[in-house]
Amino acid sequence: MRKFWIWSLVAFLLIIHQDNWFWTDDTLVFGFMPVGLLYHAGISVAAACLWFAAVCLIWPEGVEHTMASSENHSPDENREA
């Protein structure tokens, strides 16, 4: 169920990333930052938080051990003499 919610939030971020409403808005936030830039900065922070949640919640178990064990063996060790 966690996978469903993570992927749903990814899809939601992809949809709201495609904004058209701030293209012509000349409003400055904090007196220097265009509102569209702030919006995309917020989307970027949300995407980073979502990726962190995905890694913590739905990352497959044992991937690190599989990668570590494959790095310790050279390809020649698996061949028969």
What digits encode the pLDDT tens for the residues 13-68?
Answer: 999 998 888 888 889 999 999 999 999 999 999 999 999 999 999 888 877 776 66
Query: What's the CA gap between 62 and 44, in Å, rounded?
Result: 29
The bridge status of strand 28-29 relative to strand 33-34 is antiparallel
pLDDT of residue 52: 96
Whether the CA torsion 41, 21, 19, 56 is positive or negative: it is: positive
Q: How confident is the model at residue 44, as a pLDDT? A: 96
Answer whether 27's CB lies under 8 Å from 35's CB: yes
Domain limits, the chain: 22-59
Q: What is the pLDDT at residue 79? A: 58
Distances (CA, A) of 6 to 18, 37, 50, 63: 19, 25, 7, 19
